[in-house]
Amino acid sequence: MVESVKPNIKDLSFKEFEAHLVELAEPSYRAQQIWRWLFQKRIASFSEMTNLSNALRERLTEDFTISRLPILRQADSIDGTVKFLFGLSDGQSIESVLIPEKKRLTLCISTQAGCGFGCAFCATAIMGFKRNLKASEMLDQILEASRTLGERERITHVVLMGMGEPLANYVQTVRALEVMTDTTWGIGISPRRITLSTVGLVPQIQRLMEETRVNLAVSLHAATDELRSRLMPVNRKYSLKELMECCRSLPIPRRKRITFEYVLLSGVNDGKQDARQLSELLRGVRCKVNVIPFNPHSGSEFQRPTAAQVGVFERVLHDHGVQINVRRPRGDDIQAACGQLQGEALRQKGHASSTSAEA
Ligand code: SAH
């Protein structure tokens, strides 16, 4: 007989857990107490839940496990950026990056192990798609990174910009967002402080904007279909026209803007003409552009443009009235660009990287 594996309590939704408590003849308010222990006090065992009866603590211990994500590697940059490589229970690994800025502490989390979208410049793409993360695995990245912080430090912002495509893992991502944003029993981060970045999956973008209040970032990287399809194969499915029509019609509140991300690749998409075409494409969309000078990695021949090239691109957009923000490269010394720490660990182990695209 196969021994049944206990479920991880964090894989139940709040509602599912409430229903479980009813079956145990416990009052449903216990669900809130228990969820607070898990997501606010971040305890790691049921025995620490001191406002529950011993009998209930024992029962929960029999029924469930409480997951942890072991840190396989941690890299600290001189600029304060910290990168974690977490090990998943099935041997896969994922990355998160903690980015301190003046008044914020942002955690960048992964939503899939690997990625199947094959963007030409991305280190994660080289690995191919491994699997979707469960909501608990997204939340555990926040809980584990929080555990490494000092008493008075707190993660203030979360960006879903690590490994993987969040909207290709829609259900688990929205489940995780619910726990991240709930202030009564969840982690309690305002949706205004959470940004989800996507390659541009049109139907899921529309659904996300209806179902949540998180900020949207769309990876654009090119202003023509010809170039974008070369850099991002997903463009063959959702063209720029479809993507921009979607962005124009989203029910976004007045003071909010969509962010467009634009990785600057030297000699590929960083010319004056590219900047002019980009400003044309964005005309009439309430947006800002995050320009990210390419983060070089050993799996790619693209190059980061010089500061002068970046400056020219920035000026043309600015002159055309586009709100633009050039991202300072962070964590260069620890290979903080998406997928790089994992790539490094695999190379050191002598693994060949998979290039299958299953997503
Ligand atoms: N799949 C989502 C989120 C993960 S990638 C998306 O594509 O938006 C987060 C951002 O980092 C994307 O804009 C992506 O294009 C960008 N990116 C990936 N590799 C990069 C690199 N080497 N240098 C700079 N930005 C990179």
Strand order through the sheet with 324-326: 71-76, 82-87, 93-100, 105-108, 157-160, 194-198, 215-219, 258-264, 287-293, 324-326
Single-letter residue type at 47: S
CA–centroid distance, 4 to ligand 1, in Å, is 39
Percent of the chain residues past pLDDT 90, beyond the cut = 86
Is 219 near ligand 1, meaning CB less than 6 Å away? yes
Q: Is the pLDDT of residue 351 over 60?
A: no
- Local confidence band at 330 (pLDDT 50, 70, 90 cut-offs): confident
In this prediction, residue 28 carries a pLDDT of 84
- Closest ligand 1 atom, CA of 296? 22
Is 332 near ligand 1, meaning CB less than 6 Å away? no
Catalytic residue IDs: 95, 338
- Local confidence band at 281 (pLDDT 50, 70, 90 cut-offs): very high
Q: Which of 132, 170, 199, 208 to mutate to test the pocket of ligand 1 (most atoms within 8 A of CB)?
A: 199
pLDDT digits (tens, 9 = 90+) for 45-85: 999 999 999 999 999 999 999 999 999 999 999 999 999 99
Predicted TM-score (pTM) of the model is 0.93
In this prediction, residue 335 carries a pLDDT of 66
Q: Which of 173, 219, 258, 289 to mutate to test the pocket of ligand 1 (most atoms within 8 A of CB)?
A: 219
Which positions ≥6 away from 77 have C-beta within 8 Å? Answer: 83, 330, 331, 332, 333, 334, 336
- Local confidence band at 350 (pLDDT 50, 70, 90 cut-offs): very low
What's the number of CA atoms in the CB half-sphere (13 Å) around residue 63? 16
β partners of residue 23: none
